[in-house]
């Protein structure tokens, strides 16, 4: 069954697009057409921004509501999303190949959970504080919603990454225009249906898929947008940062990664390998924070390479909609070409493949790539420096803890990371010295109550936690005479 949408979600209604351009999405596992949606033109982006602007500027509207009133609307939205959770999971997995067993835990569950977290936080945290002035009288310090937000998201965790932005923005009192990635549009349309069913006020949330860069670029530079929140590639992030810089427009950038998983000499390898799957190969390696450089101590190097190779050979490859599948296809033929190009480069630069390296047998349709382990990789090799965004791990040897930290930090990126050890204090001491926005000991489980983001080329600003709410607020000081 194909899903065909003929309108965009703007100003609380389904609105005909201004052009006849469409975005078609195909199944990552069967290559069949799954559906299509209108592609927003620049003029549709203008209409969506105008709706968000009007809604934000309404003196009795969303931005001025008491937090408890906004929280009640957000709770209705969360309930409508929960009612559509399986539909959303099926769309995401069909489009980008994410195995449903992971999709249900992330794409199906996280949106409602994060909405509720921020609905709670906006009612708990004071938005106004009166301080005694250091000079004269007192000062009312206010945290006000920043305004109209343009949210641009990628295809790998389309729902989770949308709600990392949408939930704090809505809770803060902002209005939002979301531009989903053209690879994952059907799930975004279901979010629009949920917003309509929840009766969010018109203009508070607008969803406008666009193909290529045109729609996103228009949103970034639109004069009526007050903040941009972007997740995607470092290359696109750099051009968005340049545009926002010229406009003095606040921007949050969650970009690429090439994180290190440091296995210390005292690690229990069986437990480590179990945890490394989630930390390194989740979603076919199409996750920004994952550890695609595995740093192994020289005295246990062979043991780690053999263990990892056995692990990836044992992973069940299959239809992402099948509950037992652990490795699905990658998101698109373009993505598979990129990954295969990196595998060829890894071989050309002297890497030794110990598992995978090709396309799995028996899959003549769909964009499948075998999970692949490269041993004997130098940290200067292309596959150790560039983000592959596929199931390809490079195992790099190190001599001692200092050497491991130096290799981990010798990267343009700084997003995630892990340390594997039987001594948590030793692991934490190493984690403190790794240059990254977040890092886990003996696992990597993102905590939605704590800030997430990157350093260096992995981006700037933070999402999640109270810090993620502050990113949608701005301060105002009112100097009072007494």
Residues interacting with ligand NAD, by CB under 6 A?
152-156, 161, 179, 181, 213, 216-217, 220, 231-233, 236, 239-240, 254-257, 288, 387, 389, 415, 454, 459
The C-alpha atoms of residue 179 and residue 127 are separated, in whole angstroms, by 29
The closest of 41, 5, 472 to 215, measured between CA atoms, is 41
Q: Which is nearer to ligand NAD, 220 or 407 (CB)?
A: 220
The residues pairing with 177 across neighbouring beta strands, listed in sequence order, are: 150, 206
Of the candidates 254, 340, 387, 463, the residue annotated as catalytic is 254
CA angle 296, 349, 405 (to 5 degrees): 30
Q: Which is nearer to ligand NAD, 147 or 232 (CB)?
A: 232
Shortest Å, Cβ 417 to ligand NAD: 13
Q: Which is nearer to ligand NAD, 122 or 225 (CB)?
A: 225
Tokens of 376: 């004997």
Q: Which is nearer to ligand NAD, 238 or 316 (CB)?
A: 238
Which position has the token pair 């975005």? 23
For 147, phi and psi rounded to 5 degrees?
Answer: 130, -140
Alpha helices in 248-327 (DSSP H): 269-280, 301-314
The answer to whether residue 75 is catalytic is no
Shortest Å, Cβ 389 to ligand NAD: 5
Q: Which residue is nearest to ligand NAD (CB)?
A: 216
Q: Which is nearer to ligand NAD, 137 or 212 (CB)?
A: 212
Give Cα separations from 233 to 230, 278, 455 (angstroms).
Answer: 9, 21, 14
Report the sign of the C-alpha dihedral through residues 206, 78, 86, 83, in that order: negative
| Residues written for the chain | 482
Shortest Å, Cβ 35 to ligand NAD: 18
The C-alpha atoms of residue 272 and residue 261 are separated, in whole angstroms, by 10
CA-based end-to-end distance of the chain: 68
Q: Which is nearer to ligand NAD, 78 or 178 (CB)?
A: 178
Shortest Å, Cβ 107 to ligand NAD: 13
Shortest Å, Cβ 352 to ligand NAD: 26
Helix 67-83 × helix 186-197 angle, to 10°: 130
Do residues 186 and 95 lie in contact, with contact meaning Cβ atoms separated by under 8 Å?
yes
Cβ-Cβ contacts under 8 Å for 242 (sequence gap 6 or more): none
Tokens of 400: 């001692």
401 exposure class (CB count in 10 Å sphere: 0-12, 13-18, 19+) = middle
Shortest Å, Cβ 383 to ligand NAD: 15
For the annotated catalytic residues, the residue numbers are 254
């Amino acid at each position: 069954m194909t899903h065909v949408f003929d309108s965009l979600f703007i100003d609380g209604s389904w609105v005909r697009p201004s052009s006849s351009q469409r975005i078609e999405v195909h199944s990552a596992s069967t290559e069949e057409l799954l559906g299509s949606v209108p592609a927003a033109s620049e003029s549709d982006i203008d209409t969506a921004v105008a709706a968000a602007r009007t809604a934000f500027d309404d003196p009795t509207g969303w931005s001025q509501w008491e937090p408890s009133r906004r929280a009640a609307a957000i709770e209705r939205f969360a309930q409508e999303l929960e009612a559509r959770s399986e539909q959303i999971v099926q769309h995401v997995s069909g489009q980008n190949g994410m195995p449903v067993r992971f999709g249900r835990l992330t794409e199906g569950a996280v949106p409602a959970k994060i909405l509720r977290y921020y609905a709670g936080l906006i009612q708990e945290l004071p938005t106004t504080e009166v301080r005694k002035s250091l000079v004269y009288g007192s000062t009312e310090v206010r945290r006000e919603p920043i305004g109209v937000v343009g949210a641009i998201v990628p295809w790998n965790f389309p729902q989770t990454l949308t709600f990392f932005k949408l939930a704090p923005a809505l809770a803060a009192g902002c209005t939002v225009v979301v531009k989903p990635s053209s690879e994952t549009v059907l799930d975004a349309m279901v979010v629009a249906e949920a917003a309509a069913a929840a009766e969010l006020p018109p203009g508070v949330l607008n969803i406008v898929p666009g193909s290529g860069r045109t729609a996103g670029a228009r949103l970034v530079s639109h004069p009526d947008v007050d903040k941009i929140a972007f997740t995607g590639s470092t290359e696109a992030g750099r051009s968005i940062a340049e545009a926002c810089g010229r406009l003095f427009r606040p921007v949050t950038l969650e970009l690429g990664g090439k994180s290190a998983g440091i296995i210390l000499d005292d690690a229990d390898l069986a437990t480590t390998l179990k945890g490394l799957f989630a930390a390194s190969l989740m979603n076919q390696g199409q996750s920004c924070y994952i550890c695609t450089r595995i740093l192994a101590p020289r005295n246990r190097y062979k043991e780690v390479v053999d263990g990892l190779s056995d692990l990836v050979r044992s992973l069940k490859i299959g239809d992402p909609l099948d509950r037992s599948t652990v490795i699905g296809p990658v998101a698109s033929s373009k993505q598979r070409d990129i990954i295969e190009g990196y595998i060829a480069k890894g071989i050309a630069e002297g890497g030794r493949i110990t598992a995978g390296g090709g396309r799995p047998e028996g899959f003549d349709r769909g964009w499948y790539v075998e999970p692949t382990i490269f041993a004997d990789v130098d940290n200067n090799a292309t596959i150790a420096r560039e983000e592959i965004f596929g199931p390809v791990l490079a195992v790099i040897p190190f001599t001692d803890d200092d050497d491991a930290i130096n290799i981990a930090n010798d990267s343009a990126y700084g997003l995630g990371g892990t340390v594997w050890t039987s001594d948590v204090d030793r692991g934490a001491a190493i984690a403190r010295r790794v240059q990254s926005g977040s890092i886990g000991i003996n696992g990597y489980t993102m905590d939605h109550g704590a800030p997430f983001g990157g350093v260096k080329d992995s981006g700037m600003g933070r999402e999640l936690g109270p810090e993620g709410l502050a990113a949608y607020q701005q301060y105002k000081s009112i100097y009072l005479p007494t």
